[in-house]
C-alpha cells in the first residue's frame, strides 16, 4: 500500500482541482476524477430566465445559492447585473449559502460578508437542513426568495434541487422562485479517466463522494462494473446510501469540511 493515503476526488473539474490542492496540503495524496460536468445554460428560454432573475435580484428578500457554481454562473462578469449597476455589493438582498465553499464563492464575487448567511462552521452537515434555522428568523409572510440552482441535462426551466428548503419556505408563507444558473451533465471521460475509474474500483483507493448524481454518472460510464472491492467516503448520509445502492463494498461517512475529510482519509488508510 502507498505510504500516503490516496483519494479520488469526484467533484466538478474546477472544484476537484482545488480539493486536490487542499488535500495535498493536509498530507493526502489525491487525484481528480470529475464525475459531474458544469456548463452555462444553453437553451434560449433558460438563458432568458437567468437574465430576468439577475435583473430582479434586488427585489428578493434573499437569494439562496445551492453551490459555488450557482454563484459563479449567476454573477458572471459582463452580464446584466454589471450593466445595470446591480453588482453583488450593490444588492441589499441577503445571500444564503449551504456551506463554506459557497460562502467563499460569494465573497469572491463581491458579496459583502455581512449580508451572507450560512450554517455555523461546527454544523454536522452543510445543507438546507443546517441552513434553515439560521435564515428562518429573518423571514415573514409575503417575502420572496429566489433559489439559484443547477439543472440536470436535458435542462428543465428553473432547474432542480432544494425541494426541502422550498417546502419550508412555502410553509412560512414565503414565495419561492427558481432559476437555473448552470447545467449539470455527465462528463466526457476519456480513456485515461475510465482506466483510473476501473483501477479505483479494485485497488483500495478511497472515492471521495459529494454528490449522488456523480455516482449515477459513474455507473453509466462503467456499466456492469463490480464495486464490491471499492471504498467510498461520503459527505452526506444520502450520498452514502446512494454509494451502497451502487454496490460499493465499504462506505464511510464524514462531515464535508476539509479537515474532517482529510482526517477520515488518513484514518481509513491506516486500517
pLDDT at 82: 44
The per-residue pLDDT for range 101-110, each reduced to its tens digit, is 899 999 988 8
Look up the CATH number of the domain holding residue 238.
Answer: 3.40.50.10090
Examine residue 111 and state whether it is found in any structural domain, yes or no: yes
The three three-digit cell numbers of residue 199, written as one number: 483501477
Judgement on whether residues 113 and 73 belong to the same structural domain of the protein: yes
- Residue finishing a domain among 130, 164, 185: 185
- Residue finishing a domain among 185, 215, 237: 185
The three three-digit cell numbers of residue 91, written as one number: 444588492
Judgement on whether residues 121 and 75 belong to the same structural domain of the protein: yes
Which of 222, 232, 227 lies closest to 247 in space, CA to CA? 227
**Helix ranges (DSSP H) in 64-115:** 68-74, 80-83, 100-109
Of the given ranges (45-59, 70-84, 184-198), which has the lowest mean pLDDT? Answer: 70-84
Q: Would you say residue 18 has pLDDT above 70?
A: yes
Per-residue pLDDT band for 84 (boundaries 50, 70, 90) equals: very low
User: Residue 226 contacts by C-beta under 8 Å, 6 or more apart in sequence?
Assistant: 201, 247
Which of 31, 73, 36 lies closest to 188 in space, CA to CA? 36
Q: Which residues pair with 178 in a beta bridge?
A: 147
d(CA 52, CA 63): 14
Average pLDDT, the chain: 88
Which of 207, 198, 218, 205 lies closest to 254 in space, CA to CA? 207
d(CA 35, CA 137): 37
**Number of helices (H), then strands (E), in the chain:** 11, 11
Judgement on whether residues 43 and 172 belong to the same structural domain of the protein: yes
How many percent of the chain have pLDDT more than 90?
65
Which residues span the domain enclosing 80?
Answer: 39-185
Examine residue 1 and state whether it is found in any structural domain, yes or no: no
Q: Would you say residue 156 has pLDDT above 60?
A: no
Give the pTM. 0.77
- Residue finishing a domain among 170, 185, 200: 185
Residue 82's CB is within 10 A of a number of other CB atoms, namely 15
Judgement on whether residues 162 and 221 belong to the same structural domain of the protein: no
Of the given ranges (9-13, 78-82, 139-143, 256-260), which has the lowest mean pLDDT? Answer: 78-82
Amino acid at each position: 500500500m502507498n505510504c500516503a493515503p490516496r483519494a479520488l476526488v469526484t467533484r466538478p473539474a474546477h472544484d476537484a482541482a482545488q480539493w486536490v490542492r487542499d488535500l495535498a496540503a493536509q498530507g493526502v495524496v489525491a487525484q481528480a476524477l470529475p464525475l459531474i460536468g458544469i456548463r452555462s445554460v444553453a437553451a434560449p428560454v433558460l438563458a432568458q430566465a437567468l437574465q430576468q432573475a439577475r435583473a430582479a435580484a434586488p427585489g428578493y428578500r434573499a437569494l439562496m445559492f445551492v453551490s459555488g457554481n450557482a454563484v459563479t454562473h449567476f454573477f458572471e462578469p459582463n452580464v446584466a447585473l454589471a450593466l445595470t449597476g446591480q453588482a453583488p455589493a450593490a444588492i441589499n438582498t441577503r445571500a444564503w449559502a449551504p456551506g463554506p465553499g459557497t460562502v467563499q464563492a460569494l465573497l469572491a464575487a463581491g458579496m459583502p460578508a455581512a449580508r451572507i448567511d450560512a450554517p455555523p462552521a461546527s454544523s454536522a452537515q452543510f445543507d438546507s437542513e443546517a441552513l434553515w434555522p439560521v435564515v428562518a428568523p429573518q423571514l415573514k409572510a409575503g417575502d420572496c426568495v429566489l433559489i439559484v440552482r443547477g439543472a440536470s441535462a436535458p435542462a428543465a426551466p428553473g432547474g432542480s434541487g432544494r425541494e426541502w428548503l422550498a417546502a419550508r419556505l412555502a410553509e412560512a408563507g414565503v414565495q419561492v422562485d427558481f432559476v437555473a444558473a448552470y447545467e449539470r451533465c455527465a462528463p466526457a471521460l476519456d480513456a485515461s479517466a475510465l482506466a483510473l475509474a476501473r483501477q479505483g474500483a479494485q485497488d483500495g483507493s478511497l472515492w471521495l463522494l459529494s454528490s449522488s448524481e456523480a455516482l449515477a454518472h459513474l455507473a453509466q460510464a462503467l456499466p456492469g462494473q463490480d464495486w464490491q472491492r471499492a471504498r467510498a467516503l461520503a459527505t452526506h448520509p444520502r450520498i452514502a446510501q446512494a454509494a451502497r445502492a451502487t454496490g460499493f463494498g465499504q462506505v464511510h461517512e464524514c462531515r464535508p469540511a476539509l479537515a474532517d475529510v482529510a482526517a477520515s482519509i488518513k484514518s481509513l488508510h491506516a486500517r
